[in-house]
Chain A
Amino acid sequence: MGVISSKLGNLGVVTTSLETAVNWGRTGAMWPLLFGLACCAIEMMSTQASNYDLSRFGMELNRASPRQSDLMIVAGRVTRKMAPVVRQLYDQMASPRYVLSMGDCASSGGVYNNYAIVQGVDEIIPVDVYVAGCPPRPEQLIHGILTLHERIKGEHFNEWITGQER
């Protein structure tokens, strides 16, 4: 006897909307882009390692290719030299794609208000969730990811087909 039959008893049929089923699928297996820039990347690695274990949220598989990933975690400061590369990686990702800006530098430039740093990665790509901290604790990153999950669960059918920029 499997889990489903023990939970459903004799019901046999589950009804749900397509939106709910697809959004559930998208949140349950979101593959992030293996993309680290600076200090926050080290905390991102900690989040994926033994103690915090990001795979609990279906995210253990980091893809090094943007073509295979759904979520870009911008972990660290984006410099003016790196900005075109970040934009190109974003363009290469297939829809639906999401961006999480991790840390103060990626969100707003942080402590570096100077000639070298892009003052927030949202100047070059659209951002879905911002996570504050310098660097954010793994718990904060996990909270940011769960916030993104909540947001995805509220997406509607017409948003998928109208090709809204994601």
Chain B
Amino acid sequence: MVMTVPESQQGKAIESWQGQVEELRGLVSERAMTGETLLLNMGPHHPSTHGVLRLLLELDGEEIITCLPDVGFLHTGIEKTIESKQYEKGVALTDRVDYLAPMNNNTVFVMAIEKMLALDVPERAQVIRVICLELTRIQSHLVWLGTHALDMGAMSAFLYCFRERELILDMFEMLSGQRMMGSYIRPGGLWRDLPDEFLPALQHFVDIFPRRVDDYEALLVNNPIWRDRTEGIGVVEPEEALALGMTGPTLRASGVNWDIRKAEPYLTYPRYDFNVPLGEHGDVYDRFWVRMQEFRESIKIIKQAMKNIPGGPVRSQNRKYVPPPRAELGRSMEAVIHHFKLWTEGFSAPDEEVYVAIEGPRGEVGCYLHGTGGTKPRRVHLKTPSFMHISALGKMSQGHMIADLVGIIGSVDIVLGDSDR
């Protein structure tokens, strides 16, 4: 890297710097134009931005005047790629949108397809989906807790959280053969039935996990440094939170009772008894507290679902959309035809538009799907919570110090893959 500017270029360098600042007029305060306040880049390579997020900060001393997020460093073109694939093949791409909650993205995309086709889903598959979704929520919150605590200087929470997360990833591997990107949830049900070793492993996890949550709380809740660094930081009022489009635990920490599992129930959620934890102040500590309670509520849901898993198939028997099992191919000509049609051409969906939303670990995950009447969608759009939460960072960080910004970024639990897609 050449750091010095040649003499002939020096004037130009200053001109180009002024030109760049000029572009920011209106976005940063007038004081930045004269150089009175400092413009500082945070990211896209920064240990505390939870991925490749760039923040342009305007600083007065260490106080943040303006915080402008710049997203798109992980824009992958996933929506456009799904449009060039058959519906069933799109499922594998939705895993990689929000890579901390792959099962959620699978489910929302698959539920949109099912709604469009009016495809039935067997009850057993629905209950297993609920178990998977709640396990995904727990493992996503574990990564959040580990990295959030790490950003704030608490190393041990990270090691404990990843220890428990491995238990969940082992279970996902039993289900789908892959630790993270399973694509286990398919149109019409699931890829296959539960393996024999899954339920004992789940029972073991459900038994030990509540005690482990107590351990995390013991590490952090009464820790004076943790309380000092989180209480009263990044406060969002309920009205503001709604206006900013926040959803999920971040919204509930501000005291707004909105959980899609309760408000617009899907799958078998209405059967289960669980609470929606709400915060009072809407600060970093409340967002932490709400997620800690969600650990316990998720375990509650899993326990109730485990007790009552109905028998029967795990995939719809509608052969126009769901491929026949391997064993049928040797006996039935019909099955061979369906198998061939589904794996070469794929199934067709009507020229209609649907929107389905579910409650992901970070908030409302939605899928807008528009068919063409053919085998590929015209438009797929994923509504992802991280994007809204990143846009709220500017509002939340005003007047705080840079060190607090690290806590605020951690507390809204952003995933850049989720925001940029």
Give A136's nearest chain B residue, CB to CB. B179
State whether A51 and B181 are in contact (beta carbons under 8 Å apart), knowing that A42-B100, A42-B143, A82-B44 are contacts in the complex.
Answer: no
Complex Cα spacing A42 to B95, Å: 14
Alpha-carbon distance between A50 and B160 when the two chains are bound, in angstroms? 7
- Is the interface on chain A under 10, 10 to 19, 20 to 34, or 35 or more residues? 20 to 34
Alpha-carbon separation in the docked complex, A37 to B49 (Å): 11
- Chain B CB within 8 A of A116 CB: yes
Flag if B80 contacts A114 (CB, 8 Å).
yes
B72 nearest in chain A by CB position: A81
* Minimum CB–CB distance for B257 against chain A, Å: 31
* Residues 108 to 140 of chain A near chain B (Cβ within 8 Å): 111-112, 114-117, 134-135, 137
B181 and A134 form a contact (CB under 8 A): yes
Per the bound structure, the CA–CA distance linking A117 and B143 in Å amounts to 26
Interface locus among A19-27, A85-93, A142-150: A85-93
**Pairwise interchain contact B180-A114, C-beta atoms closer than 8 A:** no
Q: Once bound together, how far apart are the Cα atoms of A10 and B416, in whole Å?
A: 59
Q: Is B210 an interface residue (CB 8 A)?
A: no
Contact A112 B77 (CB under 8 A): yes
The reply on B295 being an interface residue by CB < 8 A is no
- Choose one: B73, B75, B80, B99; the contact of A42 (CB below 8 Å): B99
Tell me if B73 and A79 are in contact (CB < 8 A). Answer: yes
Q: How far is the CB of B159 from chain A (nearest CB, A)?
A: 5
Q: Is A49 engaged at the interface, CB distance under 8 Å to the other chain?
A: yes
CA distance A41 to B92 in the complex (A): 19
0/1 interface trace, chain B 43-60, chain A, CB 8 Å (1 if under): 011110001100000000
Contact call B75/A79, Cβ cutoff below 8 A: yes
A37 surroundings in chain B (CB, below 8 A): 51-52, 74
Q: A39-B99, A39-B180, A42-B143 are in contact. Are A81 and B162 (CB under 8 A)?
A: no
Decide if B74 touches A82 in the complex (CB within 8 Å).
Answer: yes
Most buried by A among B92, B159, B162: B162
Name A115's closest neighbour in chain B (CB-CB).
B77
Q: How far is the CB of B165 from chain A (nearest CB, A)?
A: 7
| Distance between B26 CB and nearest chain A CB, rounded to angstroms | 23
Docked pose: A137 CA to B177 CA in angstroms: 11
Report A73 CB to chain B, min CB distance, Å.
13
Chain A 53-85: CB-based contact to B (< 8 A → 1; otherwise 0): 000000000001000000000001101011001
CB atoms of B45 and A89 under 8 A apart: yes
Given A39-B99, A81-B72, check contact A50 B1 (CB 8 Å).
no
Chain A residues positioned under 8 Å from B93 (CB to CB)? 111
Q: Is the CB of A46 within 8 A of B1?
A: no
Expressed in whole angstroms, the Cα–Cα distance for A106 and B15 within the complex equals 37
Any chain A CB within 8 A of the CB of B76?
yes
In the complex, whether B231 has a CB less than 8 A from a CB of chain A is no
Closest partner residue, chain B, to A134 (CB atom): B181
B417 at the interface (CB under 8 A from A): yes
- Of residues 85 through 124 on chain B, the ones whose CB sits less than 8 Å from some CB of chain A are 92-93, 96, 99-100
B288 interfacial by beta-carbon distance below 8 Å: no
A38 at the interface (CB under 8 A from B): yes
Taken together as a complex, chains A and B put the C-alpha atoms of A73 and B163 apart, in Å, by 23
B76 cross-chain contacts in A, Cβ below 8 A: 38, 77, 79, 112, 114, 116-117
Question: Is the CB–CB distance between A49 and B46 below 8 Å?
Answer: no
Contact A50 to B159, CB < 8 A, known contacts A39-B96, A82-B44, A115-B77: yes
Closest Cβ neighbor of A76 among chain B residues: B74
* Minimum distance in angstroms from B387 CB to a CB of chain A: 16
Q: Does B280 contact A (CB under 8 A)?
A: no
Query: Which of B75, B169, B416, B417 is A116 in contact with, Cβ under 8 Å?
Result: B75
Set of chain B residues within 8 Å of A137, measured between Cβ atoms:
179
- Which residue of the partner chain, among B73, B96, B163, B180, contacts A51 with CB atoms under 8 Å? B163
Cβ–Cβ contact B162 & A49, under 8 A: yes
**Given the complex of chains A and B, what is the CA–CA distance between A134 and B93 in angstroms?**
11
Measured CA separation A88–B44 after assembly (Å): 12
Most buried by B among A35, A77, A81: A81
CB distance from A133 to the nearest CB of B (A): 9
The answer to whether the Cβ of B184 comes within 8 Å of any Cβ in the partner chain is no
- Bound: A111/B52 CA distance, A: 20
Bound together, the chains give a CA A92 to CA B2 distance in angstroms of: 11
Contact of B180 among A36, A42, A85, A92 (CB under 8 A): A42
**Residue-wise interface mask of B (155-170) relative to A, using a CB-CB cutoff of 8 A (1 in contact, 0 not):** 0001110110110010
- Give A residues with C-beta under 8 Å from B: 34-39, 41-43, 45-46, 49-51, 64, 76-77, 79, 81-82, 85, 88-89, 91-92, 111-112, 114-117, 134-135, 137
| 6 A-B pairs with least C-beta separation | A49-B162, A39-B99, A116-B77, A114-B77, A64-B47, A50-B163
Task: Given contact pairs A38-B76, A42-B100, enumerate 11 new A-B contacts (beta carbons under 8 Å).
Answer: A36-B51, A39-B181, A43-B180, A46-B162, A46-B165, A50-B162, A50-B163, A85-B52, A92-B1, A115-B80, A134-B181
26 of the cross-chain contacts (CB-CB < 8 Å) are A34-B47, A35-B45, A37-B51, A37-B52, A38-B417, A41-B51, A42-B180, A45-B143, A45-B146, A46-B165, A46-B166, A50-B163, A50-B166, A51-B166, A79-B73, A79-B74, A79-B75, A82-B74, A85-B44, A85-B73, A92-B1, A111-B81, A112-B77, A114-B80, A115-B80, A134-B181
